């Protein structure tokens, strides 16, 4: 089936008490690995690329690869642009075929965040493209965006409600204590805050920083209203470690297939594990 907007799949996930895995990919093999994982488990899928990867590969190449994957399979697949601060790049990605975009103006004051998000919603909604915005500041390093621990800021539930009302944004990523990258110790997720936000806002909520959150914490966040979980760092590590293992055994290896095939397999297994955690197995059937 063609690429779809992530809005209906995320609404179904929130209503159904499960979550959709959104995986950052940087190469064709990574994209194929998460698609194979979703096909094998009948999970709806969100393929994501960061701004850095879009600039590295070009939005047309990424959209073309995602479109081929989507057309070849019977599961709903959305292609999402992660953490974008540039309006022009968002428009370019939509033109290339992206079906979901994130406008991240969380570093700006509330009114400016509203203004920038509204501007994106106005171009994306008529194109049938999902929009995600962020309130508060998720800590850690995500591509070119760096937020120090002491600058990370939790989202205010009343502001979340006001923000959704003012912008009409269909999905919201409130900062609730998770961080990008790998956690030193356990993440300090503010579950009470997720519950309060979900009580005031009926759009699907997005959990950023999904690498290494303990299983029971993911389940609790999902039960409270988190309908999308972003996973990036953990997958990069799994993929790269598999390549390193090949070179450790055979430093002279020079056939990319010899190290890409095991890397792809390792990533696929990690993605399946995340989909199991999200509770998305078998949910693709609901979209046929």
Catalytic residues, by residue number, are: 82
Stretch that binds Zn ion, among 11-19, 23-31, 110-118, 208-216 (CB under 5 A): 208-216
Stretch that binds Zn ion, among 136-144, 186-194, 257-265, 273-281 (CB under 5 A): 136-144
The residue among 26, 36, 11 whose CA lies nearest residue 82 is: 26
Look at residue 107 and give its three-state secondary structure. Answer: coil
Nearest approach, Cβ of residue 152 and Zn ion (Å): 12
Nearest approach, Cβ of residue 232 and Zn ion (Å): 7
Query: How far apart are the C-alpha atoms of 25 and 46, rounded to whole Å?
Result: 10
Nearest approach, Cβ of residue 50 and Zn ion (Å): 9
Is 168 annotated in some ligand binding site?
no
Q: Choose, by CB under 5 A, the member of 208, 228, 268, 283 that binds Zn ion.
A: 208
Stretch that binds Zn ion, among 12-20, 116-124, 143-151, 207-215 (CB under 5 A): 207-215
Is 211 annotated in some ligand binding site?
yes
Query: How far apart are the C-alpha atoms of 288 and 275, rounded to whole Å?
Result: 19
Structure tokens at 3: 């690429």
Q: Which is nearer to Zn ion, 36 or 142 (CB)?
A: 142
- Judged by CB under 5 A, does residue 228 bind Zn ion? no
Is 231 annotated in some ligand binding site?
yes
Is 208 annotated in some ligand binding site?
yes
Query: How far apart are the C-alpha atoms of 51 and 53, rounded to whole Å?
Result: 5
* DSSP alpha helix (H) spans, the chain: 6-16, 28-41, 51-57, 59-71, 87-96, 110-124, 157-167, 191-200, 215-224, 233-249, 256-278
Give me the residues that bind Zn ion (CB under 5 A), please: 142, 208
């Amino acid at each position: 089936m063609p690429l779809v907007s992530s809005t209906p799949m995320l609404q179904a996930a929130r209503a159904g008490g499960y979550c959709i895995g959104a995986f950052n990919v940087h190469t064709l093999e990574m994209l194929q690995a998460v698609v194979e994982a979703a096909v094998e488990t009948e999970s709806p899928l969100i393929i994501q690329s960061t701004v850095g990867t879009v600039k590295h590969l070009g939005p047309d190449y990424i959209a073309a690869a995602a479109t081929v994957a989507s057309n070849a399979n019977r599961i709903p697949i959305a292609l999402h642009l992660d953490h974008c601060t540039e309006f022009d790049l968002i428009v370019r990605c939509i033109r290339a075929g992206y079906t979901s975009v994130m406008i991240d103006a969380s570093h700006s004051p509330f009114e400016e965040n509203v203004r920038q998000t509204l501007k994106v919603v106005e171009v994306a909604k008529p194109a049938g493209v999902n929009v995600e915005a962020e309130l508060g500041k998720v800590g850690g390093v995500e591509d070119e965006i760096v937020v120090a621990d002491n600058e990370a800021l939790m989202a205010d539930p009343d502001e979340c409600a006001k923000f959704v009302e003012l912008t009409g944004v269909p999905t919201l990523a409130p900062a609730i204590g998770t961080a990008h990258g790998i956690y030193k110790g356990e993440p300090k997720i503010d579950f009470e805050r997720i519950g309060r936000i979900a009580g005031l806002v009926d759009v699907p909520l997005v959990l950023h920083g999904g690498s290494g959150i303990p299983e029971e914490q993911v389940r609790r966040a999902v039960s409270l209203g988190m309908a999308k979980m972003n996973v990036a760092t953990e997958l990069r590590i799994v993929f790269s470690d598999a390549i390193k293992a090949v070179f450790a055994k055979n430093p002279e290896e020079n056939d990319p297939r010899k190290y890409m095939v095991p890397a792809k397999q390792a990533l696929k297994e990690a993605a399946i594990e995340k989909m199991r955690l999200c509770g998305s197995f078998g949910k693709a059937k609901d979209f046929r």
